[in-house]
Amino acid sequence: TPGVLTEATADLTWALLMAAARLIVKADNYVKRGEWKEGWSPTLFLGENVYGKTLGIIGAGKIGLAVAARASGFNMKKIYFNRSKLPREIEEKFGLTYKPLEDLLKESDYVTIHTPLTKETYHMIGEAQLKLMKPTAILINTSRGAVIDGAALVRALREKWIAGAALD
């Protein structure tokens, strides 16, 4: 449904990013289990800052650009990888800088994926790519699940190659 869910998917991407960064699910489960009765501190579920961080956008189509537009409110550095470089006017309008995929993964604090599932994008994020990411990085996927190698992602999370993931 091209064009139908652009804004909704960009909003969802940001909801997932914020939830992962600020440990919303972990904090919710903590409260539901009644663990707050055992102890609490103001920084217990502070999580990671979003403001001023680097956002890597994989797939700079309509949804990727809508995600980039929302990042401006967080004063984020915005880098992107796409199968083709965007026109300079579009890069300037959205404050985007093109990076090869490997560089984007190494530099980003948050990586969002907005690609279609094709032969070229199937498992485009696997063990090698996850190992390039910062140990503090968070991966957000609102594209098709098979763009990420699920087994590699589980290993990356268990072995703390990355800090977290949020998946649609």
What's the mean pLDDT when you consider all of the chain? 94
One-letter amino acid of 46? L
pLDDT of 12 = 96
Question: Helix axis angle, 62-71 relative to 6-21, nearest 10°?
Answer: 50
pLDDT of 1 = 58
Closest Cα to residue 54, out of 71, 40, 69? Answer: 71
* Residue 150 pLDDT greater than 90, yes or no: yes
Q: How far is CA 141 from CA 26, 89, 105, 135, 166, in A?
A: 19, 27, 14, 18, 6
pLDDT of 45 = 83
Q: How confident is the model at residue 167 (pLDDT cuts 50, 70, 90)?
A: very high
* Residue 166 pLDDT greater than 70, yes or no: yes
pLDDT-wise least confident of 45-49, 84-88, 125-129, 161-165? 45-49
Q: How confident is the model at residue 2 (pLDDT cuts 50, 70, 90)?
A: low
Q: How far apart are CA 72 and CA 25, in angstroms?
A: 25
Q: Pinpoint the alpha helices (H) of 72-149.
A: 88-94, 101-107, 127-132
* Residue 130 pLDDT greater than 90, yes or no: yes
76 token code pair: 């984020």
pLDDT of 143 = 94
83 token code pair: 């199968």
pLDDT of 61 = 95
